[in-house]
């Protein structure tokens, strides 16, 4: 039986602050159900509503009938500049009771950038910050990581970028080029691999996708340098090699990837688990890729746009496009797409 969200997608109407409309398919195996989005970065779902962050600083709600775009009011203003802005979104495990979400955002100035993780709740026609969970994450015009997600252990995981400083991803005193693990209140868990540190794994370049399979195994996707994009199995305390090794290079004490792109690039971003495989949003690949647990990569859902994130809602798969690049201008009309086999 079709979900409420799916049924509602067939009768889309206009929402607050957005000229949205049904449109033709943006992917060969998909139906565009909402267009007019402005550089969306993350999508999550709860009880028939899809939540969408847009880089300029809005968190929108799409219930299948209307899209409501609401600004995020943060104590440190969101800096929307190049690759920085409002990025990752995670709905708290108790979202049904609290209505609170976690966001990752860029702040500061183009000459002095940082990133922070905040908690927000809806207050009328805005989302208001309720507290800062973690700050002081190094910022960069392009390499900020930016994904946040609650794991099956109830902890909050955060990805950070390397900031183009080759010393930092291997430095356990720096937050750059890492995956962090925090309690839902932003504290350091006592069982983290490095005592007193939020660092869960290190040696990353620019990880923008994290997910878990049904056994609780964690995976991450990250952008490589001139190709060499990676999908990794993440283990507590693991060193993923950047910038010492990349691709299939090996070094004692460092992890090699489950899958990597070689000389070509996927420009990987969002990552999720579905029906026994990983689904990977590819910006440069222009498709959603399927990655098996043996590391085989296929084109799961062909497309013709830059795919930023992918989301499973029940038996359905959704994706968002980000057709502008922080490196160059491009099409500004982005879409939410429901994918079909």
Domains identified in the chain and CATH numbers: 4-339 (2.120.10.30)
Instruction: Confirm if 47 and 61 have CB atoms less than 8 A apart.
Output: no
Instruction: State if pTM tops 0.85.
Output: yes
Q: How far apart are CA 9 and CA 55, in angstroms?
A: 24
Q: Among 254, 48, 238, 220, which Cα is nearest to 151's?
A: 220
What is the block-wise mean pLDDT of the chain (341 residues), using blocks of 10 residues? 38 31 53 94 97 98 95 98 97 98 98 98 98 98 98 98 98 98 98 98 98 98 96 98 96 97 97 98 96 97 91 96 75 85 75
Secondary structure class of 179 (helix, strand, coil): strand
Q: What is the pLDDT of residue 333?
A: 80
Q: How far apart are CA 52 and CA 44, in angstroms?
A: 7
Instruction: Confirm if 156 and 150 have CB atoms less than 8 A apart.
Output: yes
Secondary structure class of 159 (helix, strand, coil): strand
Q: What is the pLDDT of residue 331?
A: 53
Instruction: Confirm if 229 and 261 have CB atoms less than 8 A apart.
Output: yes
Instruction: Confirm if 207 and 220 have CB atoms less than 8 A apart.
Output: yes
Q: How far apart are CA 244 and CA 16, in angstroms?
A: 49
Q: What is the pLDDT of residue 49?
A: 98
Q: How far apart are CA 174 and CA 192, in angstroms?
A: 16
């Amino acid at each position: 039986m079709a979900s409420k969200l799916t049924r509602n997608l067939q009768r889309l109407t206009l929402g607050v602050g957005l000229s949205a409309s049904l449109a033709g398919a943006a992917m060969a195996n998909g139906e565009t159900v909402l267009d007019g989005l402005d550089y969306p970065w993350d999508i999550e779902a709860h009880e028939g509503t899809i939540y969408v962050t847009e880089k300029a600083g809005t968190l929108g709600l799409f219930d299948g009938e209307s899209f409501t775009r609401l600004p995020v009011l943060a104590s440190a203003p969101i800096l929307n500049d190049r690759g920085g802005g409002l990025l990752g979104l995670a709905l708290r495990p108790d979202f049904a009771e609290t209505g609170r979400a976690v966001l990752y955002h860029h702040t500061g100035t183009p000459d002095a950038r940082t990133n922070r993780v905040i908690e927000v709740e809806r207050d009328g026609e805005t989302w208001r910050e309720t507290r800062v969970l973690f700050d002081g994450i190094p910022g960069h015009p392009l390499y900020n990581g930016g994904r946040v997600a609650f794991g099956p252990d109830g902890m909050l995981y955060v990805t950070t970028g390397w900031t183009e400083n080759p010393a930092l991803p291997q430095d356990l005193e720096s937050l750059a080029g890492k995956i962090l693990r925090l309690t839902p209140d932003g504290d350091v868990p006592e069982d983290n691999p490095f005592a007193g540190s939020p660092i869960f794994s290190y040696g990353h370049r620019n990880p923008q996708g994290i997910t878990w399979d049904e056994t609780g195994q964690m995976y991450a996707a990250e952008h490589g340098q001139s190709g060499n994009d990676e999908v990794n199995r993440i283990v507590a305390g693991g060193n993923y090699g950047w910038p010492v090794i990349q691709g299939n290079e090996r070094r004692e004490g460092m992890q090699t990837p489950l899958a990597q792109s070689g000389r070509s690039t996927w420009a990987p971003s969002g990552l999720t688990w579905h029906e026994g495989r990983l689904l990977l949003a590819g910006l440069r690949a222009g498709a959603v890729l399927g990655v098996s647990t043996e590391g085989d990569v296929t084109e799961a859902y062909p497309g013709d746009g830059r795919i930023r994130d992918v989301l499973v809602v029940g038996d359905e798969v959704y994706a968002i496009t980000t057709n502008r690049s922080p490196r160059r201008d491009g099409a500004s009309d982005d879409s939410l797409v429901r994918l079909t086999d």
